């Protein structure tokens, strides 16, 4: 018995049976080793997330190519040498009962390097990226495919492609960052080509039955950026390409820190309108995230058909017992992610391991110590 029967009802995602509608949305915390390998700290963290009661844990973005790393301490999946650590990561998540997925990323123009690669040479953050050649594009498509195959080989139950946060997949879709006039730029159909190539190559690499999810940037929240109107036009083509779900989000590094967005981000369900708008145009499940703090709110989102699954990121970091407390009717005991707090985000932006102000002093010290040893 639970006060939230829809939230705790099962759902099958491309053959993968989730026991409930609660997922962990990817949350990069800077816990990997500087070499991109899995560290004891990252294993400890994901063991806790896997035991949270969430049905599916999508581990944070992992780089498919060395030049696609978003930050220092980002996981890497661009070589077989990372397989043993990734297998441990999958096991750590599954030990607690959750299904395990890993997010694959190429950061493109937001990569942590002096001359990033991007669809076009549009300056950002004081750097001008180098426009990708047709050969580069083909190489990166294959890098995603090989990384997806490694995720499967490592024992994960699913893989997610990172089309959010304004990283490379999203950069191709965006008229702001994609100014190409070849086969991969111009109208929406041409801007969609790279994401569709990546999905097709990943599908070929993992076979017909392995679930592939997609983090979908449905609105850049920038005047000349990818808009919800275009996102609704593009979503059915993505869905038809054989995705298990779309995990909808909004914003990029160019819009996250704008004052109106910072204000909006303090509100429960601040990205749910985007998910609901995408859900209207696709027939695959949709995940919504964004400060979903109250189980009753989550229950209503599902009951009203705004989304099929809930994604918790910082919310689950602040209280790794959220799903268990919700299921047991102890919602009032959930420690909330504080809207005014930016500790985790600020830490990772400075290249440090993330901490949470809701943790005990002892836990914060343990994480700091483990990060120093990584």
Ligand X SMILES: Cc1cc2nc3c(=O)[nH]c(=O)nc-3n(C[C@H](O)[C@H](O)[C@H](O)COP(=O)(O)O)c2cc1C
| Residue 195, CA distances (Å) to 37, 78, 133, 155, 162 in order | 26, 18, 16, 24, 10
Report which of 72, 40, 85, 146 is spatially closest to residue 374, judged by C-alpha positions: 40
State the Cα–Cα distance between residues 319 and 47, nearest whole angstrom.
14
Least CB distance to ligand X at residue 348 (A): 5
Least CB distance to ligand X at residue 1 (A): 27
| Residues ≥6 apart with Cβ < 8 Å to 321 | 52, 53, 334
Indicate the residue among 165 and 327 with the shorter CB distance to ligand X: 165
Q: Which residues bind ligand X (CB under 6 A)?
A: 25-28, 60-61, 103, 162, 164-165, 215, 249, 289-291, 312-315, 344-345, 348
What burial class does residue 42 get, using C-beta atoms within 10 Å of its C-beta: 0-12 exposed, 13-18 middle, 19+ buried? buried
Asked if residues 99 and 113 have their Cβ atoms less than 8 Å apart, the reply is no
Asked if residues 349 and 325 have their Cβ atoms less than 8 Å apart, the reply is no
315: which 2 tokens? 């919310």
**Residue 153: Cβ within 10 Å count:** 14
Least CB distance to ligand X at residue 175 (A): 22
Does the annotation mark 214 as catalytic?
Answer: no
Indicate the residue among 164 and 323 with the shorter CB distance to ligand X: 164
Indicate the residue among 25 and 92 with the shorter CB distance to ligand X: 25
Asked if residues 61 and 103 have their Cβ atoms less than 8 Å apart, the reply is yes
Asked if residues 167 and 144 have their Cβ atoms less than 8 Å apart, the reply is no
Could you tell me if residue 255 is left (phi over 0), alpha (psi between -120 and 50 degrees) or otherwise beta? alpha
169: which 2 tokens? 């997949």
What angle in degrees, to the nearest 10, is found between the helix axes of 193-206 and 228-240?
30
- Stretch (H or E) spanning 317: helix 314-318
Indicate the residue among 26 and 295 with the shorter CB distance to ligand X: 26
Least CB distance to ligand X at residue 42 (A): 13
Indicate the residue among 124 and 169 with the shorter CB distance to ligand X: 169
Least CB distance to ligand X at residue 162 (A): 5
Indicate the residue among 45 and 291 with the shorter CB distance to ligand X: 291
Asked if residues 77 and 101 have their Cβ atoms less than 8 Å apart, the reply is no
Asked if residues 58 and 160 have their Cβ atoms less than 8 Å apart, the reply is yes
Least CB distance to ligand X at residue 60 (A): 4
Which of 4, 31, 46, 167 is catalytic? The answer is 167
State the Cα–Cα distance between residues 81 and 219, nearest whole angstrom.
36
State the Cα–Cα distance between residues 367 and 372, nearest whole angstrom.
9
Least CB distance to ligand X at residue 278 (A): 14
Indicate the residue among 106 and 215 with the shorter CB distance to ligand X: 215
Asked if residues 127 and 114 have their Cβ atoms less than 8 Å apart, the reply is yes
Instruction: Report, as residue numbers or ranges, the catalytic residues.
Output: 167
């Amino acid at each position: 018995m639970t006060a939230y029967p829809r939230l705790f009802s099962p759902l099958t995602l491309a053959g993968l049976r989730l026991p409930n509608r609660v997922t962990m949305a990817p949350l990069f915390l800077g816990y990997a080793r500087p070499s991109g390998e899995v560290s004891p700290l990252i294993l400890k963290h994901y063991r806790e997330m896997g035991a949270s009661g969430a049905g599916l844990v999508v581990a944070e973005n992992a780089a498919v190519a060395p030049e696609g790393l978003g930050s220092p301490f980002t996981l890497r999946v661009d070589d077989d040498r990372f397989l043993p650590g990734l297998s441990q990561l999958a096991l750590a998540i599954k030990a607690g009962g959750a299904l395990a997925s890993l997010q694959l990323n190429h950061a493109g123009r937001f990569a942590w390097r002096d001359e990033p690669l991007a669809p076009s040479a549009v300056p950002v953050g004081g750097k001008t990226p180098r426009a990708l050649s047709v050969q580069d594009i083909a190489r990166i498509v294959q890098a995603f495919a090989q990384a997806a195959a490694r995720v499967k080989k490592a024992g994960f139950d699913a893989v997610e492609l990172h089309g959010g946060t304004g990283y490379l997949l999203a950069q191709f879709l965006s008229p702001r960052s994609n100014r190409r006039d070849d086969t991969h730029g111009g109208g929406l159909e041409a801007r969609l080509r790279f994401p569709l190539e990546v999905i097709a190559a990943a599908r070929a690499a993992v076979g017909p039955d392995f679930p592939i999810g997609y983090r979908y940037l449905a609105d850049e929240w920038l005047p000349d950026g990818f808009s919800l109107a275009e996102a609704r036009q593009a979503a059915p083509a993505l869905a038809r390409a054989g995705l298990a779900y779309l995990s909808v989000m909004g914003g990029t590094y160019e819009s996250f820190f704008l004052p109106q967005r910072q204000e909006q981000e303090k509100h429960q369900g601040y990205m749910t309108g985007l998910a609901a708008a995408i859900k209207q145009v696709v027939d695959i499940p949709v995940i919504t995230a964004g400060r979903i703090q109250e189980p009753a709110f989550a229950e209503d989102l599902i009951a009203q058909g705004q989304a099929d699954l809930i994604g918790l990121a910082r919310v689950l970091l602040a209280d790794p017992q959220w799903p268990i407390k919700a299921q047991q009717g102890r919602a009032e005991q959930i420690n909330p992610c504080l809207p005014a707090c930016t500790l985790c985000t600020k830490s990772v932006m400075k290249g440090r391991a993330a901490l949470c102000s809701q943790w005990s002093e002892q836990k914060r010290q343990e994480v700091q110590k483990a990060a120093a040893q990584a």
